[in-house]
A and B are shown apart, each in its own frame.
Chain A
Amino acid sequence: MEKKFKITICSGTTCYVLGGAHLMMLEDVLPDDLKEKVEIIGSTCLQACHGENARAPFVRINDYLMENASIPKIVEYLRTH
Chain B
Amino acid sequence: MSFPSNISDCCVEVDFHQKNCGKQRTGGDVFLSRKLKAQQRVISVLSDGLGSGIKAGVLATLTAVMGINYMSSFRDPAKAARSIMDTLPVCSQRHISYSTFSMVDVDFENDVRIVEYDNPPVMVARENEIINLQRQQIEVARTGKEPAPILLADFHALPGDRIIMISDGVSQSGIGSNSMPFGWGADKAGEYVKTLIVKDPKISAHDLATAIVEKAWLNNGGKALDDITCGVIYFRQPRKLLIMTGPPYDQRKDVMLAELAKNFPGKKIICGGTTANIVSRETGQPVHVLFERIDPDLPPGAAMEGVDLITEGILTVGRVAKYLEDKRDPDNLPQNPATKILRLMLNSDIIDFVVGTRVNEFHQDPNMPVELEIRRNVIKKIAALLEDQQLKETSIQYI
Query: Contact at A24–B362, with CB atoms within 8 Å?
Result: no
Of the candidates B290, B312, B363, which one forms a contact with A13 in the assembled complex, judged by CB atoms under 8 Å apart? B312
> Contacts A12-B299, A50-B363: A45 and B277 contacting too (C-beta < 8 A)?
yes
Q: How many A-B residue pairs have CB under 8 A?
A: 63
Residues of A within 8 A of B159 (CB): none
Bound Cα distance from A25 to B293, whole angstroms: 9
Of the candidates B310, B315, B361, B362, which one forms a contact with A44 in the assembled complex, judged by CB atoms under 8 Å apart? B310
How distant is B278 from chain A, measured CB to nearest CB, in Å? 10
Bound Cα distance from A60 to B293, whole angstroms: 20
Interface residues in B348-375 (C-beta closer than 8 Å to A): 360-364
Pick the 4 closest A-B CB pairs, nearest first.
A42-B289, A44-B273, A45-B273, A12-B273
Residues of A within 8 A of B291 (CB): 24, 27, 40, 42
Chain B residues in contact with chain A, CB under 8 A?
Answer: 272-274, 276-277, 287-291, 293, 296, 299-300, 302, 310, 312-315, 360-364
Residues of A within 8 A of B289 (CB): 9, 11, 41-44
Bound Cα distance from A47 to B187, whole angstroms: 65
Bound Cα distance from A51 to B360, whole angstroms: 9
How distant is A64 from chain B, measured CB to nearest CB, in Å? 19
Closest to A27 in B: B291
Query: Contact at A44–B287, with CB atoms within 8 Å?
Result: yes
Bound Cα distance from A44 to B274, whole angstroms: 7
Query: Contact at B313–A11, with CB atoms within 8 Å?
Result: no
Query: Contact at B362–A52, with CB atoms within 8 Å?
Result: yes
Interface residues in A17-53 (C-beta closer than 8 Å to B): 17, 20-21, 24-25, 27, 40-45, 47, 50-52
| Chain A positions 48 through 75: 1 when the CB is less than 8 Å from some CB of chain B, otherwise 0 | 0011100000000000000000000000
> Contacts A50-B362, A51-B362: A44 and B293 contacting too (C-beta < 8 A)?
no
Given contacts A11-B289, A17-B315, 12 further A-B contacts (CB under 8 A): A11-B312, A21-B296, A24-B300, A40-B291, A43-B289, A44-B274, A44-B277, A44-B287, A44-B289, A47-B277, A50-B363, A52-B362
Query: Contact at B300–A11, with CB atoms within 8 Å?
Result: yes
